[in-house]
Protein backbone atom coordinates (compact mmCIF):
# COMPACT_ATOMS: atom_id res chain seq x y z
CA UNK A 1 0.00 0.00 0.00
CA UNK A 2 2.87 2.38 0.74
CA UNK A 3 3.94 2.19 -2.90
CA UNK A 4 0.50 3.40 -3.97
CA UNK A 5 0.79 6.52 -1.81
CA UNK A 6 4.27 7.23 -3.22
CA UNK A 7 2.75 6.91 -6.68
CA UNK A 8 0.03 9.46 -5.83
CA UNK A 9 2.59 11.85 -4.34
CA UNK A 10 4.68 11.73 -7.53
CA UNK A 11 1.53 12.44 -9.55
CA UNK A 12 1.03 15.67 -7.61
CA UNK A 13 4.68 16.73 -7.95
CA UNK A 14 5.18 15.86 -11.61
CA UNK A 15 2.53 15.77 -14.37
CA UNK A 16 4.49 13.30 -16.51
CA UNK A 17 6.46 10.36 -15.19
CA UNK A 18 6.74 6.58 -15.14
CA UNK A 19 6.85 4.60 -11.91
CA UNK A 20 7.32 0.96 -10.98
CA UNK A 21 5.03 -0.32 -8.24
CA UNK A 22 6.30 -3.54 -6.69
CA UNK A 23 4.90 -5.62 -3.83
CA UNK A 24 6.76 -8.51 -2.25
CA UNK A 25 6.18 -11.77 -4.08
CA UNK A 26 4.32 -10.09 -6.93
CA UNK A 27 5.25 -9.11 -10.48
CA UNK A 28 6.10 -5.38 -10.72
CA UNK A 29 3.49 -3.13 -12.30
CA UNK A 30 4.75 -0.31 -14.50
CA UNK A 31 2.51 2.75 -14.50
CA UNK A 32 2.92 5.74 -16.77
CA UNK A 33 1.13 9.05 -16.66
CA UNK A 34 1.46 11.77 -19.27
CA UNK A 35 -0.06 15.21 -18.98
CA UNK A 36 -2.37 16.10 -21.85
CA UNK A 37 -4.37 19.20 -22.69
CA UNK A 38 -7.83 18.17 -23.84
CA UNK A 39 -8.47 21.59 -25.38
CA UNK A 40 -5.53 21.40 -27.81
CA UNK A 41 -6.37 20.86 -31.48
CA UNK A 42 -3.71 19.04 -33.47
CA UNK A 43 -3.71 20.51 -36.96
CA UNK A 44 -0.78 18.44 -38.19
CA UNK A 45 1.37 15.92 -36.35
CA UNK A 46 3.39 14.94 -39.43
CA UNK A 47 5.84 16.99 -41.49
CA UNK A 48 4.55 19.80 -43.72
CA UNK A 49 6.60 21.03 -46.68
CA UNK A 50 5.47 24.31 -48.22
CA UNK A 51 7.22 25.77 -51.28
CA UNK A 52 8.14 24.60 -54.78
CA UNK A 53 10.97 22.08 -54.21
CA UNK A 54 13.39 24.55 -55.81
CA UNK A 55 16.02 25.31 -53.19
CA UNK A 56 19.80 25.47 -52.80
CA UNK A 57 21.89 23.30 -50.52
CA UNK A 58 22.92 26.51 -48.75
CA UNK A 59 19.30 27.11 -47.72
CA UNK A 60 18.61 26.90 -43.98
CA UNK A 61 18.67 23.22 -42.95
CA UNK A 62 17.73 22.13 -46.48
CA UNK A 63 19.75 18.95 -46.00
CA UNK A 64 17.20 17.96 -43.36
CA UNK A 65 14.13 18.27 -45.63
CA UNK A 66 12.19 15.01 -45.51
CA UNK A 67 9.31 15.26 -47.98
CA UNK A 68 8.24 16.89 -51.24
CA UNK A 69 6.34 20.17 -51.26
CA UNK A 70 2.55 20.16 -51.11
CA UNK A 71 2.51 23.56 -52.85
CA UNK A 72 3.19 27.22 -51.99
CA UNK A 73 0.65 27.30 -49.17
CA UNK A 74 -1.06 25.08 -46.60
CA UNK A 75 -4.62 25.51 -45.33
CA UNK A 76 -6.42 23.72 -42.51
CA UNK A 77 -9.98 24.24 -41.23
CA UNK A 78 -10.96 23.40 -37.65
CA UNK A 79 -13.83 24.02 -35.23
CA UNK A 80 -13.38 26.10 -32.08
CA UNK A 81 -15.62 25.83 -29.01
CA UNK A 82 -18.50 28.13 -28.11
CA UNK A 83 -16.47 29.66 -25.25
CA UNK A 84 -13.29 30.25 -27.26
CA UNK A 85 -13.55 34.02 -26.80
CA UNK A 86 -13.07 33.63 -23.04
CA UNK A 87 -9.47 32.55 -23.56
CA UNK A 88 -6.29 33.41 -25.40
CA UNK A 89 -5.79 31.09 -28.34
CA UNK A 90 -2.52 30.43 -30.13
CA UNK A 91 -1.21 28.78 -33.26
CA UNK A 92 1.81 26.80 -32.03
CA UNK A 93 4.55 25.66 -34.42
CA UNK A 94 6.55 22.79 -32.95
CA UNK A 95 9.52 23.33 -35.26
CA UNK A 96 10.27 25.11 -38.53
CA UNK A 97 13.29 24.94 -40.85
CA UNK A 98 14.13 26.35 -44.29
CA UNK A 99 13.31 30.04 -43.81
CA UNK A 100 15.79 32.12 -45.83
CA UNK A 101 14.69 35.60 -44.80
CA UNK A 102 17.06 38.53 -44.42
CA UNK A 103 16.92 38.15 -40.63
CA UNK A 104 17.58 34.40 -40.82
CA UNK A 105 20.65 35.13 -42.98
CA UNK A 106 21.89 37.81 -40.58
CA UNK A 107 21.49 35.35 -37.70
CA UNK A 108 23.63 32.77 -39.54
CA UNK A 109 20.80 30.31 -40.09
CA UNK A 110 21.76 29.71 -43.71
CA UNK A 111 24.79 30.08 -45.98
CA UNK A 112 23.16 32.02 -48.81
CA UNK A 113 25.23 35.03 -49.86
CA UNK A 114 23.45 36.97 -52.59
CA UNK A 115 19.73 36.64 -51.92
CA UNK A 116 17.03 36.30 -49.29
CA UNK A 117 13.29 35.70 -49.22
CA UNK A 118 10.27 37.45 -47.86
CA UNK A 119 8.95 35.92 -44.62
CA UNK A 120 6.33 33.18 -44.62
CA UNK A 121 2.89 34.61 -43.86
CA UNK A 122 0.26 33.36 -41.41
CA UNK A 123 -3.44 33.98 -42.12
CA UNK A 124 -6.33 33.33 -39.76
CA UNK A 125 -9.81 33.34 -41.30
CA UNK A 126 -8.51 35.22 -44.32
CA UNK A 127 -6.66 37.89 -42.36
CA UNK A 128 -2.88 38.14 -42.14
CA UNK A 129 -1.90 37.94 -38.47
CA UNK A 130 1.85 37.28 -38.48
CA UNK A 131 5.07 36.60 -40.38
CA UNK A 132 7.75 33.97 -39.81
CA UNK A 133 11.27 35.39 -40.03
CA UNK A 134 13.37 32.88 -38.07
CA UNK A 135 13.76 29.12 -37.92
CA UNK A 136 13.38 27.41 -34.57
CA UNK A 137 11.16 25.56 -32.14
CA UNK A 138 8.05 26.42 -30.16
CA UNK A 139 6.90 29.56 -31.96
CA UNK A 140 3.51 30.82 -30.69
CA UNK A 141 1.26 33.16 -32.63
CA UNK A 142 -1.76 34.67 -30.89
CA UNK A 143 -5.08 34.36 -32.69
CA UNK A 144 -6.93 37.70 -32.34
CA UNK A 145 -10.25 37.16 -30.58
CA UNK A 146 -12.01 39.58 -32.93
CA UNK A 147 -11.29 37.09 -35.75
CA UNK A 148 -12.33 33.95 -33.86
CA UNK A 149 -15.59 32.28 -34.92
CA UNK A 150 -16.75 30.53 -31.73
CA UNK A 151 -18.69 27.32 -32.29
CA UNK A 152 -17.92 27.45 -36.01
CA UNK A 153 -15.23 26.50 -38.50
CA UNK A 154 -12.04 28.58 -38.50
CA UNK A 155 -9.11 28.43 -40.91
CA UNK A 156 -5.34 28.73 -40.74
CA UNK A 157 -3.23 29.32 -43.86
CA UNK A 158 0.56 29.38 -44.09
CA UNK A 159 1.99 30.91 -47.28
CA UNK A 160 5.61 30.43 -48.31
CA UNK A 161 7.78 33.50 -48.79
CA UNK A 162 9.38 34.37 -52.12
CA UNK A 163 12.98 34.86 -53.22
CA UNK A 164 13.17 38.66 -53.48
CA UNK A 165 16.21 38.61 -55.75
CA UNK A 166 14.57 36.41 -58.40
CA UNK A 167 12.62 38.43 -60.96
CA UNK A 168 12.46 36.05 -63.93
CA UNK A 169 9.94 33.76 -62.20
CA UNK A 170 8.38 33.17 -58.79
CA UNK A 171 10.78 31.23 -56.58
CA UNK A 172 9.05 30.17 -53.35
CA UNK A 173 11.07 29.73 -50.17
CA UNK A 174 10.81 26.05 -49.18
CA UNK A 175 10.10 25.39 -45.50
CA UNK A 176 9.23 22.36 -43.41
CA UNK A 177 7.09 22.44 -40.28
CA UNK A 178 6.56 19.73 -37.68
CA UNK A 179 3.72 19.61 -35.12
CA UNK A 180 1.20 22.34 -35.81
CA UNK A 181 -1.54 22.91 -33.24
CA UNK A 182 -4.05 25.33 -31.77
CA UNK A 183 -3.68 25.82 -28.01
CA UNK A 184 -5.80 27.73 -25.53
CA UNK A 185 -4.59 29.40 -22.36
CA UNK A 186 -7.12 27.60 -20.17
CA UNK A 187 -10.33 26.43 -21.83
CA UNK A 188 -11.23 23.46 -23.91
CA UNK A 189 -11.36 23.77 -27.63
CA UNK A 190 -13.31 21.31 -29.72
CA UNK A 191 -11.20 18.49 -31.05
CA UNK A 192 -13.34 18.30 -34.17
CA UNK A 193 -11.13 18.86 -37.17
CA UNK A 194 -11.78 19.14 -40.87
CA UNK A 195 -8.97 18.98 -43.38
CA UNK A 196 -9.04 21.47 -46.24
CA UNK A 197 -5.71 21.17 -48.01
CA UNK A 198 -5.29 23.14 -51.17
pLDDT value at position 61? 72
Tell me, yes or no, whether 27 and 47 share the same domain: no
Q: 3-state DSSP call for residue 122?
A: strand
Tell me, yes or no, whether 84 and 6 share the same domain: no
pLDDT value at position 24? 52
CA distance 88 to 185: 5
Tell me, yes or no, whether 24 and 48 share the same domain: no
Tell me, yes or no, whether 29 and 91 share the same domain: no
Contacts of 47 by beta carbon, 8 Å cutoff, 6+ apart:
66, 67, 176, 177, 178
| The model's pTM | 0.73
CA distance 96 to 25: 51
Tell me, yes or no, whether 29 and 99 share the same domain: no
Tell me, yes or no, whether 15 and 58 share the same domain: no
Tell me, yes or no, whether 13 and 102 share the same domain: no
Tell me, yes or no, whether 97 and 138 share the same domain: yes
The pLDDT tens digits of the residues spanning 149-194 come to 999 999 999 999 999 999 999 999 999 999 999 998 764 444 344 4
Q: 3-state DSSP call for residue 84?
A: helix
- Which DSSP category does 172 fall into? B
pLDDT band at 59 (very low <50, low <70, confident <90, very high): confident
Sign (positive or negative) of CA dihedral 122, 87, 77, 175: positive
Continuous segment of H or E residues that includes residue 6 = helix 2-13
Range of the structural domain that residue 110 is part of: 41-195
Tell me, yes or no, whether 69 and 6 share the same domain: no
Our count of domains for the chain comes to 2
Contacts of 127 by beta carbon, 8 Å cutoff, 6+ apart:
144, 147
Tell me, yes or no, whether 15 and 83 share the same domain: no
Decide which of 51 and 32 is more confident.
51
Q: What would the DSSP string read from start to end of 20-55?
A: EE--TTS--EEEEE----TT-EEEEEEEEEES-S--
CA distance 124 to 90: 11
Amino acid sequence: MKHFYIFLLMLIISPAFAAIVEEEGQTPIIMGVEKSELHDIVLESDILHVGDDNYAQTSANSGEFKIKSAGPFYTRAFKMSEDALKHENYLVIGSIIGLDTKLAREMGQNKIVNSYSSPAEIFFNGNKISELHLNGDGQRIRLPNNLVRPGNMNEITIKAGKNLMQTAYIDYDDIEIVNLSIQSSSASLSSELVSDRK
